Chains A and B, each alone.
Chain A
């Protein structure tokens, strides 16, 4: 049966062979029989195989173990070989070759076998190496199709890109270069090439949007946090300077050993409440910025840092103390503020020292706390545990990140 099949095929195969040799030989390296260049060898083997097909099939008949497999393989080899026939036949067969990889694989094995018929024992050993060949054959085949179709068939349209699934039926029924595209609820004629280009562009844009979001929410968070940290740094410095300036002014107005307190009240009453308000605002911002650095919401870690006298944790504690101390003087500040209006009721004679002494002392303490905290922050301006946490907000976190999520 096998012999008959091949012999039936031979008269059909032989005429196109010279043509194929003329086409494909100039692109090949001329006599490269090295096994490392699979593609030219493959082609060449086919040519050689067709010429000496008589000898091979005789040997194939004699091989007992592999003979039964060969019988089926040779039929498929014939299908592949006949694809190098005249163009109409080739188109029919190529479809088969492209769809069935397994057949291709086997057919290629047959090709390899026919080339190495002389050493039958090595055949089994060399099989894994030959497995690579089908890929080469597949990648080689479409090139042949497109080139030769362009040469021979003139009335069919150019092949459509594979991803344009929905335009495939149109291309078969419309040999002209126009397609009708629905735009604004109307069908408008458009050049197919243009349309294909625009659809490709749309695809590319969609791919781009899906694959690469330029600016994720995490980036926005980190940028906002960094911006606030920089703003907080300015606030730390400004607060320290302002608090020191405030204390200096108070002590200068109060005179030596706080003997000129009425002078202080006269001069300072207009400033007392605005300075208290400004102090609260700066302290609030500085405290939030300092807490941000410690990541206070993770209580155990923040406590550990505080116990180990981490400068940033100490600074946040100092800021919070200063905030509470400063707030506790709100009543006295309002009393100073209302000094000219309610002179006799709010400030009975002789009570200035009793009221103002704690106020001055607390202002001094606040200035000291704020100054020390600023120094602590300034020694570690880059320490920021919240930012570290924000950085870990990735979609695929490592395993140990779960504990952090819980915190």
Chain B
């Protein structure tokens, strides 16, 4: 059974990572006085996304549903988050590489092209969907039904066996 204190701590860490991610997405364009600043911010942001995904995966592995082998049930429920996490991480790394590559010599110059603008829009839009899905999933992981035997789990198990 998931302890409330542990869950609160994990939820706090997850929300902190999300807040950092939102902060970097919002204000990284303002903090481009030196290219190193953006480099550090982007590296930490990508690692934070990776950490968030690892944390949510570990929480899923910790559930009773996973341990009895009903991985499909969890995947069905949290598929959207996993897809958007992978998409967002990919888009973020691509955008960060591109932007830093363009601004590395001279940080304060106009670098925008149509392609960069499109990638930027996709990355920021995916970020919002990722925030929504991640926050929702992190809250849903507090579902006590995921951590113990119950009626619906038995039903799902019997359905999976058929």
Contact B145 A284 (CB under 8 A): no
Which residues, 47 to 89 on B, are CB-close (under 8 Å) to A?
A: 76-77, 80
Which residues from A are CB-within-8-Å of B144? 216-218, 393-395
Q: Does A386 contact B (CB under 8 A)?
A: yes
Of B4, B108, B155, most A-chain CB atoms within 10 Å:
B4
Query: Does A243 belong to the interface (CB within 8 Å)?
Result: no
Q: Does A335 make an interface contact (CB < 8 A)?
A: yes
A102 sits at the interface (CB 8 A): no
A277 surroundings in chain B (CB, below 8 A): 26-27, 29-30
Question: CB < 8 Å: which of A220, A335, A345 contacts B11?
Answer: A220
**Cβ A287 vs Cβ B132 within 8 A:** yes
- Contact (Cβ within 8 A) B4 A220: yes
| In-complex Cβ contact of A342 among B29, B30, B110, B128 (8 A) | B110
Main secondary structure of the interface of B (DSSP, over half): helix
* B120 lies within 8 A of A221 (CB): no
* CB atoms of A224 and B30 under 8 A apart: no
Q: Are B128 and A218 in contact (CB under 8 A)?
A: no
User: B139's contact among A390, A396, A399, A402, by CB below 8 Å, is which?
Assistant: A390
Residues 26-58 of B contacting A (Cβ, < 8 Å): 26-27, 29-30
A284 and B117 within 8 A (CB): no
Pair A220/B8 contact, Cβ less than 8 Å: yes
Known: A402-B156, A406-B76. A292 touches B132 (CB 8 A): yes
- Contact in complex: B120, A280 (CB < 8 Å): no
* Cα(A277)–Cα(B144), bound, Å: 39
The interface residues of chain A lying within 8 Å CB-to-CB of B2 are: 217
Within 8 A of A (CB), among B133-161: 133, 135-136, 139-140, 142-145, 148, 150-152, 155-156
Whether B26 and A218, one on each chain, are in contact in the complex, defined by CB atoms closer than 8 angstroms, is no
Check B101 for interface membership: any CB of A closer than 8 A: no
User: How far, in angstroms, from A399 to B139 measured CA to CA in the complex?
Assistant: 22
Answer whether residue A349 sits at the interface, using C-beta atoms and an 8 A cutoff.
Answer: no
